[in-house]
Amino acid sequence: EGKTKEDFKFLYKRAIASYSTGDIENALKDINQFSLEFPESYQAHILAALIYRQQGAVDQQLIELNKALELRDDNPQLRKWRGSLYMEKGENKIARRDFLTVRSLEDDPELESNLGVVYYALEKPDSALLCFNKSIELDAMYEPAYLYAGSFCLELERFDLALKYLNLALLLDSENANALFYKGIALVELNRSEEGCRFLSKAFKAGQDDAGDYLKEHCYDIFK
């Protein structure tokens, strides 16, 4: 006996119920079956993308988000989500395009920081730092912006500037293991080894395992 349109609509409702109770596999089965019958359903593609996000399936999320945005391209949150997935895949030019489109509609510190990461990956460090500064301007409490800026300045061997960002990060969270680690590196590189090694030691005790290698290389003579 053939199913009617109403039977397929029930699948959508059941998919939502399954998703809300954590029954991901059945939710995905139902929503995929529903979408075959109603490919024009914007909300169904979003639900499928949410399910795939729980599964960590990046490519499948992109397929569903692309379908949703083809139907309606007026949702900046979906475009930001898609941009973050392209960023995760290393497709930075596409990610930049999405982030800049969103920025023309609305802005927030996370968007600016993500855009900074993308610019840095595209070998545009000055543009990246402008984005991190904008992120901080939008929300001075947004810690990732300081950490990104500090770590990228270390890679660029701009150690004094790295230290400024990392000091601000540590004002927000004095126990942040990454900030302690990066600050230790910056201090060592600035020939402030004793102070730097103290921060590397703190970072290692706070769970930043990579600090151990720096301690062995730079701090053995200081601590022995």
**Phi/psi of residue 85, each to 5°?**
-70, -40
Write out the two tokens for 174: 């004095």
Res 9: pLDDT:
83
**pLDDT in the model for residue 218:** 87
| Plot region of 218 (φ>0 → left; ψ -120 to 50 → alpha; else → beta) | alpha
What rounded mean pLDDT belongs to the chain? 94
Exposed/middle/buried for 164, CB within 10 Å: 0-12, 13-18, 19+? middle
Cα separation, 176 vs 180, in Å, equals 6
What pTM did the predictor assign? Answer: 0.88
Q: What is the pLDDT of residues 23-34, one digit of tens each?
A: 999 999 999 999
* Cα 28 to the center of its chain, rounded Å: 25
Distance, in Å, from the CA atom of 186 to the CA atom of 180, rounded to the nearest integer, reads: 10
Cα separations in angstroms, 172 against 3, 36, 141, 165, 198: 58, 49, 7, 11, 19
pLDDT grade for 174, boundaries at 50, 70 and 90: very high
| Res. 187 pLDDT band, cuts 50 70 90 | very high
Give percent above pLDDT 70 in the chain. 96
**DSSP three-state, residue 160:** helix
Q: What is the pLDDT of residue 1?
A: 44
Comparing 101 with 3, the larger pLDDT belongs to: 101
Each residue's pLDDT tens digit, 39-69? 999 999 999 999 999 999 999 999 999 999 9
CB atoms within 10 A of CB 24: 15
The residue with tokens 């601000």 is 168
Mean pLDDT of 189-211: 94
Residue 78 pLDDT class (50, 70, 90 cuts): very high
Check residue 80 and give its pLDDT: 97
Predicted confidence band of residue 4 (pLDDT cuts 50, 70, 90):
low
pLDDT (0 to 100) of residue 224: 46
Radius of gyration of the chain from its Cα atoms, rounded to whole angstroms: 23
Q: Give the pLDDT mean for 81-98.
A: 98
